[in-house]
Every structure is written in C-alpha cells, then in structure tokens.
C-alpha cells in the first residue's frame, strides 16, 4: 500500500514542478503587451486598407512576388499591408473588412482594461453576421467584382440570385436586417406604436389645456356676481380663502406663468369664493378681481406679439411651405444634350523633338546674326502653335527683337509667326511658331472638360484650348458683350456655333433665350428646331431667326423696350442686377401680381453686322449702341460678328462698349488694330486660330471645331423634347410712322382695346406704363391704346407727368359704354 502511495505522489510532484505554457499570458504584463499589440495592429490594418483602395490595381501584379526584394509595393505599409488588404477586402468581404479592424481594436481594449470577455464574444458573433450581410448587399448593388463587396459577397449574391432571383434576395436581405434590429437591439413595433400613442395623447391634452386657458382668459369679472348670490359659510373657509388670495397677490409678477398655473389658480379662487359670504370677503374679492383683470391684459399683449411674429416673414413661410420658386419646373423633364452627339477626334498632341530642335537652332542663329545673344530658351507645345520663350542676354533691347518678326518667319519658312515682347507676368519674350502638324480641338473635349462642367459662371462659353492645351472658358455675363471679326473662311461661323453650343449644354431653356440675326439666311437656320425652347421673337412673327433688315430694326427696338421694362422691375424690387432680382424672386419676396416674373438671360447674336450697317445704318447702330451701354445689368448680352472690321462698321461708340473681342485671321494690320487695338490678327494661320482680349492681354486660342452635322444632332435632340407653348415673346414695337393720332373708328381699334379698358377701369389709373406691365407691350403700342381709350371717353386728357383721370367708375358702366358704341 505504501508503495502505491509513493508511486501516486510522484506524478503529482512532477506536475507541480513543471512550468505551464500559458502561465505567462495570465500575468498583467503579458495582457498589457498583447492588448497594446492588438490596438496598434488594428490601426495597421486600417491604414493598409485605406491605402489599398487607392493602389490596389498597381499592387495586384506584385502579390505573388512577395519574396522578391526588388519589387516595391504602392501600399503605405508595404507588401504585408498589400497582401493583408487583398485577403480581407478583395478576396474577402470588401469594405466590411474595416469591421475586422474595429473588432481587433475592441479585443485589445478588453484585454488591456480587464473587461468581461462574454460581451466581446457576442460582439464578434454579431460582427461576423453584419460583415456577411454588408458584403452580400454591396454585391447585389454591383454586377461585377468590386472592392466594396469583395469576392465573398459577390459569390454568395450570385448563388442566391440563381435560386430566389433579385426580388427574393431583396426580401431576404430586408428580413435579416429587421431580424438583426429585433434580436440585437430589442427593437419591437409595439414600443413605437405606444410611443406614437403617448405623443398623440400629450398633443391632445396640450390642445385641450390651451382651449380651457383661452376660455378662461376671455371671461369677464363674473366671479363677483356669483359671490354676491352665494350662501354664507363657516369662518374657517373664510380664513383659508383669504390666505389663498393674499398668497397670489404677494407672488404677482409682471410676466405670465404657464397656462396650467393660471388655470388652476383661477379655478381655486372661483371654488373658494362660491362658498364665501359677501360681507366678510369683499376686500379679498376686490383684490382678486384686480388681479384677474391684470392677467387678462397681459395675455392679450402676448397673443398680439405671436400674431405679429407670424406675419413678419411671409416670404420665408412661403419658402418653407412650398420651397423656392423653380423656373425650370414647367420643363422639369428637360434633358441636356449628351456628349455622344459631338464627334471625337484624335487630339493627342504629337511632339516632334527634331522639329523643336530645328526651330530652336534657327531662332538662335537668326538672333545671333543680329548680335542678339540668348541666355535660355523653352518650348511649350500646343494643338496648333508652339510657344518658344527666350531670355535674352543682359543689355538687349526688346524692341530690337520685336523688329525681327519677318526675319524669323523667313528663317523658319513659316507663316503666322508672332512675337510677344515681353510675355505679361513673365520675364521672357515669346515667339509663337505654327506646328507642321496641327491638332483639331473637338467640341467634345472642351464641353466634357472638368473646367467647363464644374464652372459656376452665369453664361459659360468654352471657346477652345490655349497654347498650354488648357480649356479656355469665359463668362459672357461678365464680358458683357462680345465682338467677333475675321475674314471669310477663317472660322468665324464655327466660333458662333461653339458659343451657342456651350450655352445649350449648360443652361436650361428657362434660364437663357437667344435672338438670332442671320442676314445670310443659311448660317443659323438649324437653330429653328429649338424655337419653342430657346429662341425669342416678336409677336405675330412666323420665323424666329431674323433675316429681314426691317424686322432686325423692329427687334432691336423691341429689345430696348424690354430693357426699359426690366429696369422698371429692378427699380421696383430695389435691386441692382438680374442676378439679385432672380434670387429675390426665387425666394418669393416679389409678388407676381405686381408684374414681377423670373427673367431669363437674353443673348442677341448678329452675324454679318457690316451688311446691316450698309442697309440700315443709323437705324441699327443706335439701338445696338444703347443696348451695349445699358443692357448689361438686366441680362441682355450682345454677340456681334463681322467680316470687315473697318471703322465705319465698328464705330467708336460700339467699340467702347465691347471690351471683349475675338479676332480670327484678318487681311491687314489696320483691321487687326481696328478690332483688337493691337497687331497680331494678321499673323494668324486661320482654321480657327484666334486672338481673344478682354481689355487687357491677348490670348491665342485654337477654337473648338463644331461641324454642321453635330449642330443638327444637338438641335434635333432638344427639339424632340417637350417645349413651351410658344417662343419667348418680346414686347411689340410699333413704328413711329404709324402715327399716334386719336382713333375713333371702332374697326381700327387695337385688338387689345377691351383688355386695356378693363385693366384701366379696375386699377382706376390711366397710365401707359400700367398697360406695358400688364399686357407686356411696348411704349408706342401702350400709348396708342391710351389715345384710343381717350377717344372712347374712358380716360381723360393728357395732364403732364400725372396719370390720366379714369372717367368710367366700374365694369357695369364700361360694358354699357361699349354696348352703346356697337349700337351706334
């Protein structure tokens, strides 16, 4: 037996002396190290995951070359970060892998601060389910492998769709989401229903309390009468009542307390006074009566303030109820033209090093022949032109290089050489040399550019690309008018099409209208298809695009009337420009009943301006000069193009109000100075090569090319959509030669005579400006209507600056007067 005991004890002793493998991990030091490691490792994973989203494509090729030291990873945490990210994100659960990093962080936190692991295990279980649910949901949203869903989400999504379809998968995902909320957060519908019931009961109780309060505050001093008719009561009740009344008088304050307090006090006083005798409590009741009157007065004042506040910001309340006014709502489904309507060209600029080197050597040699040394030279290659920037040696005059323009052109055997001496903002001299192989700048590349798409300009125009191959975008609203000139076939009509195309791609039909004048009758005819979308015209005119000189004169004068009418609206609204006016109208601060309306921009485009000057002369020049001087603030902008920029066509008055100018190639330096006030336009190479100035520096641009089939596709696309009932109507212009004598014959009266009479009688104001606003007429026609109303006996005679007296008091008298005229 003893031997058995000793043999049984030996293994016990040996086990006690043998150290445990996990004994160290139970110590505090080990837990601190492990917890810190897990927290730092979670940050490691987050950084690797974020870097993977930006560099995963570059790192795909090196994932299998882990041991190769020469291969570098783009991931911020190297190959290990790239492989871990690929495993968890791309091959795993996608973006839901960030939950793994969060759970590792949570685990480290639990270990570091001795938290209970039971809740941690539950958190891990729910996190795994949430990761799978997110991965499947994102896999359902994307049709192919994506970083957001990962391979797991994609494969499970494909498997489930094959059995239950897309609809079934949506139902299944929704079910698991609801089950997760119910099981994880104990969300039940009965709690929400009870909460809604409690809120409704509280709202009803509050409403009933307010009604009781309103009834009590509207009562007169009736408690005195009821007290006089009541029976006597014991003296104890008198004492109680006296203490209550005195307490309320002592706590009297100038402000009113809550409704419930006032109501309860009033009920308490009335109950006590009903049991009291008249002779004993007369003093207390009198005090109580005074207090009730004071409370009524204070309540009336408070209600008055609330009503005043509610009517103070009517426009803000309208915006809150209905939202801001949306001018595009009538054509809410309008779609802008798509990019695929525009043709794409091969626009990659080919740089020929041999050509650049040869041109550089020729420039240097030519300047050396005239003893001009060059310290530095740099080349910038553009789509059509290459700019060579040279830094001359010290002591060289700029004018000396400028005079060698023709010699440099001869040495380079090229046309279109232009010297910029010096380049503004740089300490260099520029020599522009045409490329042997020019690149076509497509309208597609310009319109789809980030600079144009993200522009916040009022009227953005994408003209083309600069020498540095950057998209050139300007704002017509800030120009505010544009003058274009160029010889035949140099790109002037293409430039007009580029301007119009830019606005069609950016502005809604409610925001801009065009008035197109085309004396040649063939350049702008394609835009007839968008008449009821974008064009404006005179009333009772068949074609919106104007080709007749007489109609041009009438349209320009009508536009002057529109300008005056708009300035009247701006004056009434107390704003300075169309942008402020439209912003105020959108905020519903202007009443449409007062004639206010949303004002679209109006762009007047005139092609072949020289032809109009030759045929109409001063009749055209005067309204254009007036519009150029005044129309900027009310949103009317002019684009005038001409072949021959001579001084008798582009006069000093017109030039002074057209600071923004575009010059295509012209035939002489005189024409260049006429349009630009500087030379250079005669040195252009044509085919869309242009110089642009806004009154300061000249910029050389290659105009974007828009072919006729492209314009036709754009107009067909817009014209096939829902349009307004008619084109934008300009005010009617009546020629002065038609006369303004009184018209007594009923058959010769204006067709708007009856409408005008009703407006005048309703307003009891005989004013031509009133008819202009209400009927949207020009001043001449409104004046003729006033004369006809005077002849009919509806308004009185002319009284200077005062409005005419209205002789007809009401509608009945007006109808009787018109009926008597018919019977005569």
Which residues are annotated binding-site positions for ATP? 486-493
Quick count: other Cβ atoms within 10 Å of Cβ 468? 9
Quick count: other Cβ atoms within 10 Å of Cβ 532? 16
Sign of the Cα pseudo-torsion (229, 231, 234, 240, in order): negative
Rounded to whole angstroms, how far apart are CA atoms 291 and 221?
10
Cβ 806 vs Cβ 794: under 8 Å: yes
Rounded to whole angstroms, how far apart are CA atoms 82 and 52?
6
CA–CA distance from 365 to each of 355, 361, 415, 654 (Å)? 15, 6, 19, 45
Full DSSP string of 169-222: HHHHHHHHHHHHHHHHH---HHHHHHHHHHHHHHHHHHHHHHHHHHHHHH--ST
* Among the listed residues 681, 670, 678, 626, the one whose alpha carbon sits nearest the alpha carbon of residue 648: 670
Which secondary structure element, helix H or strand E, spans residue 580, and what is its range? helix 578-586
Rounded to whole angstroms, how far apart are CA atoms 663 and 671?
9
Each residue of 602-620: b (16+ CB within 10 Å) or e? bbbbbbbbbbbbeebeebb
DSSP E strand boundaries for 124-182: none
Rounded to whole angstroms, how far apart are CA atoms 446 and 345?
12
Extract the annotated binding site.
486-493
| Crossing angle of the two packed helices 549-573 and 609-616, in degrees rounded to 10 | 100
Cβ 347 vs Cβ 383: under 8 Å: yes
Rounded to whole angstroms, how far apart are CA atoms 324 and 602?
23
Question: Which residues, in sequence order, are CB contacts of 154 under 8 Å at separation 6+?
Answer: 139, 142, 144, 145, 146
Which secondary structure element, helix H or strand E, spans residue 28, and what is its range? helix 28-59
Q: What are phi and psi of 700, to 5 degrees?
A: -95, 125
Q: Is the peptide bond before 422 cis (omega within 30 degrees of 0)?
A: yes
CA–CA distance from 408 to each of 51, 151, 352, 469, 487 (Å)? 53, 64, 20, 25, 25
Which secondary structure element, helix H or strand E, spans residue 691, and what is its range? strand 689-693
Q: Residue 347, SS3? A: coil
Rounded to whole angstroms, how far apart are CA atoms 755 and 742?
18
Q: What are phi and psi of 807, to 5 degrees?
A: -90, -15
Cβ 639 vs Cβ 605: under 8 Å: yes
Cβ 452 vs Cβ 347: under 8 Å: no
Rounded to whole angstroms, how far apart are CA atoms 275 and 414?
118
* Among the listed residues 706, 705, 707, 703, the one whose alpha carbon sits nearest the alpha carbon of residue 382: 703
Tell me the residue length of the chain: 824
| Strands 698-703 and 536-537, sheet pairing | unpaired
């Amino acid at each position: 037996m003893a031997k058995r005991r000793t043999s049984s004890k030996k293994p016990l002793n040996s086990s006690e002396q043998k150290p445990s493998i996990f004994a160290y991990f139970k110590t505090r030091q080990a837990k601190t190290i492990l917890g810190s490691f897990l927290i730092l490792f979670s940050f490691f994973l987050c950084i690797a995951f974020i870097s993977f989203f930006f560099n995963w494509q570059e790192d795909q090729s090196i994932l299998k070359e882990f041991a190769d030291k020469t291969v570098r990873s783009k991931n911020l945490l190297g190959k290990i970060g790239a492989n871990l990210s690929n495993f968890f994100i791309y091959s795993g659960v996608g973006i839901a892998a960030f939950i793994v990093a969060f759970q590792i962080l949570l685990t480290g936190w639990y270990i570091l601060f001795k938290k209970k692991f039971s809740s941690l295990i539950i958190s891990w279980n729910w996190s795994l389910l949430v990761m799978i649910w997110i991965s499947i949901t994102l896999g359902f949203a994307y049709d192919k492998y994506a970083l957001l869903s990962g391979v797991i989400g994609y494969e499970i999504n494909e498997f489930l769709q094959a059995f239950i379809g897309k609809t079934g998968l949506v139902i299944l995902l929704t079910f698991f989401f609801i089950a997760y909320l119910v099981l994880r957060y104990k969300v039940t519908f009965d709690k929400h229903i009870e909460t809604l019931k409690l809120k409704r009961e509280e709202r009803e109780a509050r409403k009933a309390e307010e009604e009781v309060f309103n009834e009590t505050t509207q009562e007169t001093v009736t408690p005195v009468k009821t007290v006089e008719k009541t029976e006597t009561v014991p003296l104890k009740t008198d004492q109680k009542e006296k203490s209550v009344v005195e307490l309320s008088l002592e706590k009297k304050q100038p402000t009113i307390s809550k409704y419930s307090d006032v109501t309860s006090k009033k009920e308490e006083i009335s109950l006590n006074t009903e049991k009291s005798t008249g002779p004993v409590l007369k003093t207390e009741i009198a005090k109580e009566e005074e207090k009730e009157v004071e409370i009524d007065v204070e309540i009336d004042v408070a209600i008055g303030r609330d009503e005043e506040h509610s009517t103070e910001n009517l426009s803000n309340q309208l915006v809150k109820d209905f939202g801001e006014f949306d001018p595009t709502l009538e054509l809410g489904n309008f779609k802008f033209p798509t990019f695929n309507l525009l043709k794409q060209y091969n626009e990659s600029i080919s740089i020929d090093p041999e050509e650049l080197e040869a041109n550089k050597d020729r420039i240097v040699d030519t300047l050396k022949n005239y003893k001009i040394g060059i310290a530095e030279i740099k080349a910038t290659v553009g789509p059509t032109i290459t700019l060579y920037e040279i830094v001359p040696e010290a002591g060289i005059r700029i004018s000396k290089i400028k005079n060698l323009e023709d010699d440099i052109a001869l040495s380079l055997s090229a046309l279109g050489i232009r010297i910029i001496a010096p380049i503004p903002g740089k300490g260099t001299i520029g020599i522009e040399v045409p490329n042997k192989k020019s690149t076509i700048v497509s309208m597609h590349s310009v319109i789809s550019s980030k600079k144009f798409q993200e522009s916040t300009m009022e009227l953005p125009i994408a003209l083309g690309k600069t020498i540095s191959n950057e998209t050139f975008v300007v704002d017509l609203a800030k120009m505010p008018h544009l003058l274009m000139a160029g010889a035949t076939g140099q790109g002037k009509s293409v430039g007009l099409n580029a301007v119009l195309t830019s606005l069609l791609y950016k502005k809604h039909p409610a925001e801009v209208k065009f008035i197109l004048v085309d004396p040649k009758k063939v350049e702008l005819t394609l835009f007839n298809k968008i008449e009821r979308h974008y064009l404006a015209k005179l009333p009772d005119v068949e074609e919106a695009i104007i080709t007749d000189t007489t109609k041009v004169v009438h349209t320009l004068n009508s536009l002057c009337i529109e300008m005056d009418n708009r300035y009247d609206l701006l004056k009434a609204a107390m704003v300075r420009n169309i942008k402020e006016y439209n912003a105020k109208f959108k905020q519903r601060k202007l009443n449409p009943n007062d004639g206010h309306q949303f004002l679209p921009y109006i762009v007047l485009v005139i092609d072949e301006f020289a032809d109009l000057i030759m045929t109409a002369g001063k009749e055209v020049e005067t309204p254009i000069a007036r519009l150029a001087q005044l129309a900027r603030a009310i949103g009317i902008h002019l684009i005038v193009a001409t072949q021959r920029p001579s001084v008798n066509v582009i006069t000093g008055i017109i030039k002074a109000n057209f600071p923004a100018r575009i010059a295509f190639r012209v035939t002489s330096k005189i024409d260049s100075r006429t349009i630009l006030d500087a030379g250079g336009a005669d040195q252009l190479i044509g085919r869309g090569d242009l110089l642009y100035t806004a009154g300061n520096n000249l910029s050389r641009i290659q105009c974007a090319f828009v072919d006729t089939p492209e314009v036709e596709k754009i107009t067909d696309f817009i014209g096939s959509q829902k349009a307004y009932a008619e084109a934008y109507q300009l005010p009617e212009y009546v020629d002065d030669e038609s006369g303004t004598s009184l018209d007594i014959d009923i058959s010769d009266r204006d067709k708007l005579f009856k409408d005008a009479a009703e407006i005048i009688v309703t307003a009891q104001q005989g004013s031509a400006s009133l008819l202009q606003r209400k009927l949207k007429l020009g001043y001449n026609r409104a004046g003729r209507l006033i004369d006809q109303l005077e002849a009919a006996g509806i308004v009185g005679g002319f009284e200077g600056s005062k409005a005419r007296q209205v002789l007809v008091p009401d509608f009945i008298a007006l109808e009787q007067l018109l009926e008597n005229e018919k019977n005569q």
